[in-house]
Amino acid sequence: MLTRRHLGKLVALGLVLGSAGCAYHRARREAFYNESLRALPAMRVFAIHQIRKPTEADLQAIMDTRPMIDHVSYERVNFRWSNVCTVVAGPPPCQPWFFFDNRPRR
């Protein structure tokens, strides 16, 4: 029979397991992003070689600004420089797969 004491123990156990899961996920995510940041110089070189007819402002944006880094289920990493380009790479160690030009068409 489920009493209040048993219910309290179950709730406490659930809270402990939930907080441990959140800490594990946070540590995994931080390690993933740190490994992705180590590949940033290679992604910059890839972007500069792939972009067609780059302007000085485009090159400056790629070299000087930090891209927005996001992932898709930890299987694909997107390095996105706003209004310039996006480099899609595999999971760390981040080998580049695709390049997308985000500049508005002229």
Could you report the per-residue pLDDT of 31-48, keeping only the tens digit for each? Answer: 889 999 999 999 999 999
Radius of gyration of the chain (CA): 21
Quote the pTM value. 0.75
Under the banding of pLDDT at 50, 70 and 90, the label for residue 104 is: confident
Distances in whole angstroms, Cα of residue 8 to Cα of each of 4, 5, 21, 95, 105: 6, 5, 20, 49, 61
Q: What letter does residue 62 receive in the DSSP assignment?
A: H
Omega before 41 cis (within 30°)? no
Q: What is the pLDDT of residues 8-67, one digit of tens each?
A: 777 776 666 566 566 667 888 888 899 999 999 999 999 999 999 999 999 999 999 999
Gap between the Cα atoms of 87 and 34, Å rounded: 17
